[in-house]
Structure 1
Amino acid sequence: MTPVRRTGVDQAGGHVVLGLDAGTTSAKAVVVDRAGEILATGGSDPIAVRATPDGGREQDPEEIWQALATAGRRAVRGLGPGVGVAALAVAAQSGSVIPVTVEGRAERAITWMDTRFQSVPENWSAGVAARVRAVSGWMPTPGVGLSTIVGLQAPGTRQPGADPAPVSRWASVDDYLVFRLTGQWATNPSNAAGMQLMDVTTRTWSEELCSLAGIDGGQLSPILESGSTAGELAGEAAAVLGLDAGTPVVVGGHDQACAALGLGVVDPGDLFLSAGTAWVLTAVTDRTDLASLPPSLNLSPHVLGGVWTASENLGGLGAMLAETPQARIQEAFEKCGLKVRQALEGAGEFAAGGDELVMVGGGIRFSELVDVLAKVIDRTVVTRPEAAWPALGAARLAEAALGWTPHEGAP
């Protein structure tokens, strides 16, 4: 992505924050000033996903880091002279697992798209599955830390996906990147939820779930609240990014939660539909009563204190639209609308308060789809243009950590 700078903005002598987003396909970055203006953006080339015949979907952690550094460096280069970055924060994909060996090597990221360990949650008893749900807030599922770690450690059964070297730390993308930035390991509640090893109500690692995974809680990174300080930018990372060593690195969050923050989806009852290749419906809630949580929803902490996100993955509706012949596209639109309506109805009281739905992603390019969706769900659908929303949410966290006053009218 070519760096983009907004014109007509006085940058001289000002301080800014850098928001970074490590997505699955690429990395993005935005530079935001104290008035909430995006001064510059940057992006990376696509991050390769390596497929294996047995369903593996892996990435190279070093390539993820290089993509993030490239996006950040390109954004910073888009600034004028005399503008200093006061802090930075990272939004990151969730659910992927990076085993770190006792020698400190991180050679593979088993992504959330990996299907090798589907049988792990399927083989749990009803009692075990119920406990996983009650503690983590998520339904037992493959493609998250718990099932992946269990599968990787299964003796002699998953040899193609097994790690030969002893593992000293089970990381994910977010804490690996914090380590590359600061030299210290730290995760956050919204990303830790994707490991399915956290007690969602206490926002701490669960001894019960760690025991089920066959690991010790000490093999996981400390959980720090989003918006707190993770550490300072280390010299090597500073040189790669083109920033000053010692710049504060603020704890970010899961890319979906950071996108919600960037979009202003922060109050209980707010609704957010990410309509990309896969569609994800998210409702903001202040309720943590898991007993009343519909089975279709997974509960995770938001990046803001006191609220959570209840989300449902609606499947590959975007991919379905891309493959639908023009002659049947209206039928496909209706199918999408019905799917969203069913999800809202299934969410019950968790989605009852919102009278409008914020929609982003590739789906908004179909104006007829947006109209159909609004009619079927009987709510106003507010579309937002394609942008680096997770990176913007990360920038908002960095601003808050600096004590900058929120800008009126900004999402």
Structure 2
Amino acid sequence: MIDRYSTPELRALWSEASKYRAWLKVELSAMQAQAELGEVPQHAHADLTAKAAADPLDEAFALRVAEIEAVTRHDIVAFTTALTERYGESARFVHHGLTSTDVVDTAQNLLLDESLELVIADVQAMHTVCRDQAVKYKHTPTVGRTHGIHAEPMTFGLKFLNWMATLERDLERLNAARERVRVVMMSGSVGTYAHVSPEVEERVAALWGWKAAPITNQTLARDRHAEVLSALAIFGTTMEKIAVEIRHLQRSEVREAMEAFGAGQKGSSSMPHKKNPILTENVTGLTRLLRGYLVTGLENVPLWHERDISHSSAERVILPDAVQAASYAARRLTNVLKNLVVFPERMLKNLNDLGGLVFSQRVLHLLIDEKGMGREAAYAVVQRNALQSWETGEGLRELLKQDPENPLSDHDLDQAFDLQWYLRQVDHIYRRFGLE
């Protein structure tokens, strides 16, 4: 991911040096298990562990691996060669009985696990902001829209509550996907444990608090990675749903809420008056990437026989980019939501802008329930007056009062056009989430 759309933590985590530190953790854990089983010398593991702690793998090591790989054309061979150069004789017991993918896939799972921990924290932060804003705007009236058209009254807080509920499902999916990749694979060249004991894999898994992959070939099955990308992509759709709503609310014709506009900020190089929803537009663009990464992740699942490397080049891009795009977009959107500029007066104005048309269903029900009209006849009365209100701008209530076929009294119309009647169940909805 380019620096513009990455976070410092994930940028560091997916660096070459960090990748090699993850590879070394896998190798050292395997050596520890093998030493406990008497398969490699105890002193070799202890010596290599001490040297690695005193002289951690760094960017200089990563550059050396790159130099060796330019000759060997094999990254793991370059890695083990560079380890021997750096740490000496004890490194000769590294990679004993393992195949390259045992190290690469298990280490990649380490990076994904840490990455998802960071992304989950970002989602939780967004959830907290949505909850706080839901409480703050619980009783702020606004107009609900369907198909982009005024529908019926609701509260602005309900939007945040809905987003909060969606984020809770995102957290469930992300946690499940994280658990799916918390597995260790150390099964050898085609998954038969011909040169490494299954107990090595099991001991490493126990050491980490993970699970041993129950069966593999030369790779860890890529449906696990597709599940991670799916959870990230679905979380992306949540962010886009929120971002698109804010972009609509910031439109000049609507102007019910907007992104905060900082001191010194410029909205346009040519139009000084502009305040554009650039942050949420940016989020929308990044979520498109997340969906694209999922498509590639799904195509990585079917591989030839016990392994090919068609997935490898793609994963070097899509896995670090997906978690970084998700984290960056989440932090950006959380900041937008936290500092959102809200205009309750404008919401009320827009709610009343169509002369009471948003109360049409209550009128319809009173005609049916209180006056005994058939549904078709009642609908015809309300729709006839509503369409006239659309065309002329006259208030629906005034038109109904003038309609000789409308039997509703002034008292009845007071009930029909009561805003609070529409909002009377808001407290009940909030109680479902333990909010008052």
Q: Which has the higher helix share?
A: 2
Greater Rg by CA: 2
Q: Which has the higher strand share?
A: 1
Fold shared by both chains (TM-score > 0.5): no
Bin of the TM-score, shorter chain as denominator length: under 0.3
Q: Structure 2-normalised TM-score?
A: 0.20
